[in-house]
Amino acid sequence: MSLPDSVTDVVAYSSGNHAQAVARAASRRGMRAVIVMPEDAPALKIEGTRAYGAEIVTYDRYAESREKIGGTIAAERNAELIRPSDFSQLGTEIKRLEEGGADMIHVDVMDGHFVPNLTIGPPVIKALRKHCSLKFDVHLMISPVHKYIEAYADAGADIITVHPEATDNLEDSINKIKDLKKNVGVSLNPETSIDLIKNLLNKIDLVLIMSVNPGFGGQKFMPEVLEKIKELKKIREIEKLNFDIEIDGGINFDNCKIAIEAGANILVSGTTVFKSNDGDIKKNINLLKTK
Ligand code: DX5
Ligand code: ZN
């Protein structure tokens, strides 16, 4: 067994659930993980770990002992540093966001297929919607998305955002959202070009630029996406359009200003809002707005 030469942030040894936890934690932090697993580990565990973007190195557990690779077990502890949001507290957290000065609630919907993570669906959004007067900005990271648009409209979404890769016909999906009298958002992954939506910008209310690969909060901001924001801003001026430009992923107190200067007028923030300054949401929102 040999480990890849390329730069790796986390190397962990595991044969089971722990492998997935480490891979998930690494992915959320934008780290590259290599997980060493015995080749007879359950296929589901191997696939589940790979789904979080980790590279798997397998070995024959009978030929190579754990001791031999002991030196490479660097950072299993990373798994504990990242905890999912407490979904049982969603109602309270939304209240705190509202009181803390948030302008909208951004809801990340993930299907475990379009992105390697699962979150909430229409029934939960519907239940939360009743307790909040802010707009619900629903970011659908699900594929195929088209047939579910109506369910999210019914659940109370005010803005429905789809990814071009998640629908057979982006224009049809845009029209459907419009027919349901909701605002239309289209989201571009870091590697997705704006060419894909240039001819549709006149029908779009919001362009959501992903500044991380979608799937997890807590990842590292990718500054290269600011170029797309600058170009969109230019197009908006030249063509006299008025879509919003929203940025999502890794936004913090150091990069919020450059994102706004580039042209973003809506910032999405999870980790910075909930975790900075001992979770003082009001202070964090205010800092993001004024930095
Ligand atoms: C990625 C998610 C995140 C999240 C923001 O799929 O969409 O970008 O909402 O979380 P932070 O602020 O932790 O990156
Ligand atoms: Zn999002």
The CA 262 to ligand 1 mean position distance, Å, reads: 19
Q: Which of 110, 114, 219 should be mutated for ligand 1, with most atoms under 8 A from CB?
A: 219
Nearest CA-CA partner of 132 in 81, 92, 169: 92
pLDDT of residue 82: 32
Give the H/E segment covering residue 81. helix 78-81
CA angle 49, 53, 58 (to 5 degrees): 50
pLDDT of residue 34: 78
Q: Report which ligand 1 atom has the smallest distance to the Cα of 219.
A: 14
Which ligand has the minimum distance to the alpha carbon of residue 253? 1
HSE (CB half, 13 Å, CA atoms) of 82? 22
Which ligand has the minimum distance to the alpha carbon of residue 115? 1
Residues recorded for the chain: 291
Task: For the beta carbon of residue 13, count every other beta carbon within 10 angstroms.
Answer: 20
pLDDT of residue 4: 56
Compute the distance between CA of residue 22 and CA of residue 54 in angstroms, rounded to an integer. Answer: 9
Q: Is 30 in the pocket of ligand 1 (CB under 6 A)?
A: no
Compute the distance between CA of residue 146 and CA of residue 144 in angstroms, rounded to an integer. Answer: 6
Q: What is the mean pLDDT of each run of 10 residues along the chain (291 residues)?
A: 57 71 81 76 81 78 42 29 56 89 92 90 92 93 98 98 98 98 98 97 98 93 98 98 96 96 95 92 93 85
Q: Catalytic: 248?
A: yes
pLDDT of residue 208: 98
Q: Which of 216, 247, 255, 285 should be mutated for ligand 1, with most atoms under 8 A from CB?
A: 216
First-to-last C-alpha distance (Å) of the chain: 49
pLDDT of residue 200: 98
Q: Catalytic: 168?
A: no
The CA 226 to ligand 1 mean position distance, Å, reads: 16
Nearest CA-CA partner of 134 in 161, 107, 169, 174: 107
Q: pTM value?
A: 0.74
